[in-house]
Structure 1
Amino acid sequence: MKTKDICLQGLMIALVTVSTMVFQIPVSATQGYIHLGDSMILLISIFFGWRYGMVAGGVGSALADLLSGYAHWVPFTLVIKGLMGLIIGKAADYAGKEGHFFRLRNLLGSVLGLVWMVLGYFLGGAVLKSSFLVAATSIPENAIQAAAGMVIFLVVGYAFSKAHITKYISVK
């Protein structure tokens, strides 16, 4: 890896961590919180590719859990959010030069990644709580979190696309 790539990856990890921690809405059913970090994972995975999305999503989100007092979720979050970034980045096909942000593959990849996140946290909750039934109570809140992340992603992603952000930072 080049120095530039390492710096970008570190910045993206920090972006996911900070955006996850700066605005948290506690959810009693999941003992977790709704946050802005998922929109950052979506943006990073679409604009910069699966490698950046996977590392920033997994490590950044796991750091946010650790620093927010949810250490018991760190291994689950590392895997869930890392795979989320991988899924989105692999499915996406951002054509930065042409500015086609609203491509079917980008939208489908985003939805697949968010569905994985909801499923992953359901499975992680089932392990932590020793009950699939109890873990199922987290599905609505995680779905709301996913929907909010998608809306923010669409708005910010469209703006980034119009600003041709990849012209200034080329990593693919």
Structure 2
Amino acid sequence: MNKTKELSLNGILIALVAIATMAIKVPVPATEGYIHLGDSMIYLASILFGWKTGLIAGGLGSALADLFSGYAHWAFPTLIIKGLEGLIIGKIVHQTARNTSLRIKDIIAAFIGGGWMVLGYYLAGAVLTNSLIVPLSSIPWNIIQAVGGAIIVFPIIFAIIKSNILDYLNN
């Protein structure tokens, strides 16, 4: 992929992550955070385009959503947590060449990345609330967010793979 396409794709995916994160927010009062659909787009970016795109789109898109949505106190932890989520997923998925179908490895990678997200937000919540107890309430919500993101995105990824649009983007 040439640099112009790569830059354009990263910008589009940063925006998609931010929009998916901001579109539907369910507040979690105990941690002063929220759950959302943004993970679905982090999964998409990482699985289809690799760890660098997942890192950039996941970290920047999610942090921008926090800043634009009134959750600025979460922006820096989100930058790290979501960026690493994208990196982890992309590294697991892209150890072998992509074929023309959705793979079990893609699903496993999403759940490992989602698991990191749950742990990362628990740890960040512990720091922000100065308590190991308070952020426990965020764990079930973050699990729902991770699983919901996977349920939403895998049919989309399947359709994108079948459409052959990736051949155009990678040339």
TM-score, normalised to structure 2's length?
0.92
d(CA) in 2 for partners of 1:126, 1:148: 24
Alignment root-mean-square deviation, CA: 1.6
Alignment of 1:129-144 (within 5 A): 129-144=129-144
**Counterpart of 1:33 in 2: which secondary structure?**
strand
Q: How many residues align?
A: 169
The aligned counterpart of 2:120 is: 120
d(CA) in 1 for partners of 2:3, 2:122: 37
d(CA) in 1 for partners of 2:30, 2:147: 18
**Counterpart of 1:132 in 2: which secondary structure?**
coil
Structure 1 residues 49 and 11 mapped into 2: Cα distance closer, same or farther (>3 Å)? same
Unpaired stretches in structure 2, ≥5 consecutive residues: none
d(CA) in 1 for partners of 2:157, 2:28: 27
Identity value in percent: 53
CA contact (8 A) 1:30 1:141 kept: no
2:55 maps to 1:54: yes
d(CA) in 2 for partners of 1:163, 1:19: 22
Deviation per CA, 1:16-75: give whole Å up to 9, x if none: 111111222223343322212100000010000000000000000000000000000011
The aligned counterpart of 1:79 is: 80
How far residue 95 of structure 1 moved from its aligned partner, in angstroms, is 4.9
How far residue 91 of structure 1 moved from its aligned partner, in angstroms, is 0.1
Letter in 2 for 1:123: L
How far residue 114 of structure 1 moved from its aligned partner, in angstroms, is 0.2
2:109 maps to 1:109: yes
Letter in 1 for 2:156: V
d(CA) in 1 for partners of 2:157, 2:136: 31
d(CA) in 2 for partners of 1:165, 1:120: 33
2:62 maps to 1:64: no
CA contact (8 A) 2:101 2:158 kept: no
Unpaired stretches in structure 1, ≥5 consecutive residues: none
CA contact (8 A) 1:84 1:116 kept: yes
TM-score, normalised to structure 1's length?
0.92
d(CA) in 2 for partners of 1:126, 1:30: 9
